[in-house]
Amino acid sequence: MPKRYPYELREHKVEHGVSIPIEDLKIDEKAQRTLNEQRAMGIAKNLVPEALGTIVVSQRSNGDRYIVDGMHRWHACKLNDIPTLISEVHHGLDQQEEAVLFLIKNRESSKPTPLDEYKIGLTAGLPLFVDTEAALGKRNLAMGSTGTNTVGAVAGVLRITDLYGPDTLERTLKVAEDAWGRTKETWDGMLLSGIGMFLGRHGDEINDRVLAEKIGKKDPAFRWRANITALASAGGTRHSGTGSRVSTCYQLIITEWNKGKKEENRIKA
């Protein structure tokens, strides 16, 4: 299935091989990953100036220069009193476009954390992230370390939006909460992904209230998770990846939905 949310950037002027003084460079935390001080110190300790490569910089319309990619090398150079960096300079981008450029540049390299990517995707105004944030907001939830009101399963939640749309994500979150309450275990990525797959594939046939009652009556969220992990790994006899666990959750939800229904009304996997 093709992605519905590509990263796009308008044409603009780019200069290569520009030497920029370290002190002239700035960081916009909303369009950049979180600085890992230990990583920067590790780079600084083993730094070979000739192998620094080129960092990516955005020169905004007011002349300010913001690092798009290369923040840790920049910080390492500051620690080693290296005065300049060779840069690839992009002209005329705004903050949103800088965030898009960051994601494009890092798509095939050392990836930012899922939460950093989510934060930067919001700054970039990319529909995948904006639509996901809106769906979370409608349920009074936020993305972050998993807790009562925060969802940590960034990749799983984004995948629901990407494959089935933000309405299905909102339905998924409501079904989960109606089934298991607002707890940390409710927002487990495996459980949300299984519910999302079920609603994404069969949503037109489903009464969400009935679905929540059926899966909530069977077991609490933590027991669902334990059962799924055990089944997906065949009791520990084979490796279980995320895809296998999500598929197992989906199958168990189908089983619960079909209980008490006539053959002609059952959902087929």
Q: Which CATH number goes with the domain that contains 60?
A: 3.90.1530.10
- pLDDT interval class at 118 (50, 70, 90): very high
Same domain, 99 and 131: no
Q: Is position 29 within any domain?
A: yes
- Last residue of one domain, picked from the residues 83, 110, 137: 110
What pTM was computed for the model?
Answer: 0.74
Summarize the chain as % helix, strand, coil (round to 5).
55, 10, 30
Residue where a domain stops, chosen among 85, 110, 135: 110
Q: Give yes or no for a contact between 70 and 58, defined as CB atoms under 8 angstroms apart.
A: no
The predicted structure's pLDDT at residue 204: 93
Question: Do both 158 and 248 map to the same domain?
Answer: yes
Angle between helices 154-164 and 127-138 (to 10 degrees): 100
Strand partners, 81: none
Q: Are 12 and 47 in contact (CB under 8 A)?
A: no
Has residue 25 been placed in a domain? yes
CA distance 159 to 163: 6
If asked whether residues 101 and 133 sit together in one domain, one would say no
Give the rounded percent of residues in the chain with a pLDDT score beyond 70: 94
Instruction: Say whether both 132 and 233 belong to one domain.
Output: yes
| Residue closest to 132 by CA, chosen among 151, 116, 106 | 151
Q: Would you state the pLDDT for residue 236?
A: 46
107-137 as b/e, with b when 16 or more CB fall inside 10 Å? Answer: eeeeebebebbbbbbbbbebebbbbbbebbe
Shared-domain flag, residues 50 and 79 = yes
Same domain? For 134 and 86 the reply is no
| 117 in any annotated domain | no
Task: Please state the domain count of the chain.
Answer: 2
Predicted pLDDT of residue 198: 97
Residue 246 maps to a domain: yes
Q: Tell whether 120 is covered by a domain.
A: no
Q: Are residues 146 and 253 in the same domain?
A: yes
Both 133 and 259 in a single domain?
yes
Asked whether residue 7 is domain-assigned, the answer is no
Parent domain of 54: 14-110
Q: pLDDT band for 253, please (50, 70, 90 cuts).
A: very high
